[in-house]
Chain A
Amino acid sequence: DTEVTQTPKHLVMGMTNKKSLKCEQHMGHRAMYWYKQKAKKPPELMFVYSYEKLSINESVPSRFSPECPNSSLLNLHLHALQPEDSALYLCASSQDDFSGPFANTGELFFGEGSRLTVL
């Protein structure tokens, strides 16, 4: 199984709503990522979890709250979002078997994304 599964595929929410995006992988990967992608732009890193601990937070506003309940699951909780937060949210995972300067260089496996629209 080499899939990263994201749900929902599409989400429309108002600025006062609370919703969550979910991501699941069963490849035994210990690093999981959230990226945000606007149209015609590259994916932008938001968060990285390594061994279920938050490893990187790229100065993301607190209205986005990540959670890693276990090594296979990654959630992104959304609250009081703004229309400019509308984007494709991509989850990814990677496995890194190296050490030294080449540690954590494994390829990223991306899910199909959750397309979020904030009204």
Chain B
Amino acid sequence: QQPVQSPQAVILREGEDAVINCSSSKALYSVHWYRQKHGEAPVFLMILLKGGEQKGHEKISASFNEKKQQSSLYLTASQLSYSGTYFCGIRGGAGSYQLTFGKGTKLSVIP
């Protein structure tokens, strides 16, 4: 089942912060986050494996609320290079290879 992402699109000025949310109607075992720039392949950002887990990569971090069946991606002090479409992906179940992506959030960072 496809996770729901919000917002669908966001425009930021350099240095501003953004939050992208991903929620599911079913139990989550792991949440993946990827970024895809126009004309390129999706690139892995991070995986959250446990409820409550938080991870960070430079100024991009994420949290995973197992109880609420949702994850959030935080982008702080955004840079032009952060522009792209962000997808969250969830596995089909414990031990499943199926990874289903949300519809994506288009992030545009302007000077």
Residues of A within 8 A of B (CB): 31, 33, 41-45, 48, 50, 55-56, 58, 90, 94, 100-113
Closest to A4 in B: B41
Verify if B81 is at the interface (C-beta below 8 Å from A). no
Residues of B within 8 A of A (CB): 29-30, 32, 34, 40-44, 47, 49, 87, 89, 91, 94-104
From B87, B91, B101, B102, contact of A104 by CB (8 A): B91
User: 13 interchain pairs (CB within 8 A)?
Assistant: A31-B97, A41-B104, A42-B103, A90-B42, A100-B94, A101-B94, A101-B95, A102-B49, A103-B95, A104-B91, A104-B96, A105-B47, A108-B89
B88 to chain A, nearest CB (A): 10
The answer to whether A43 touches B101, judged by C-beta atoms less than 8 angstroms apart, is yes
Complex formed: what's the CA distance from A41 to B8 in Å? 12
Also in contact, A112 and B40, with CB within 8 A (given A41-B103, A105-B49, A107-B47): yes
Also in contact, A55 and B29, with CB within 8 A (given A105-B47, A110-B42): no
Also in contact, A105 and B30, with CB within 8 A (given A43-B42, A112-B40, A112-B41): yes
Complex formed: what's the CA distance from A43 to B44 in Å? 13
A residues near B49, Cβ cutoff 8 Å: 102, 105
The answer to whether B98 touches A45, judged by C-beta atoms less than 8 angstroms apart, is yes
The answer to whether B94 touches A108, judged by C-beta atoms less than 8 angstroms apart, is no
B residues near A43, Cβ cutoff 8 Å: 42, 87, 101
A residues near B96, Cβ cutoff 8 Å: 104
Question: What would 12 more interface pairs be, CB under 8 Å, given A105-B47, A110-B41?
Answer: A45-B98, A45-B99, A48-B98, A56-B98, A102-B29, A104-B95, A105-B30, A107-B32, A107-B47, A108-B42, A108-B44, A112-B41
Complex formed: what's the CA distance from A107 to B47 in Å? 7
A66 to chain B, nearest CB (A): 14
Complex formed: what's the CA distance from A106 to B49 in Å? 10
A residues near B32, Cβ cutoff 8 Å: 107-108
B residues near A110, Cβ cutoff 8 Å: 41-43
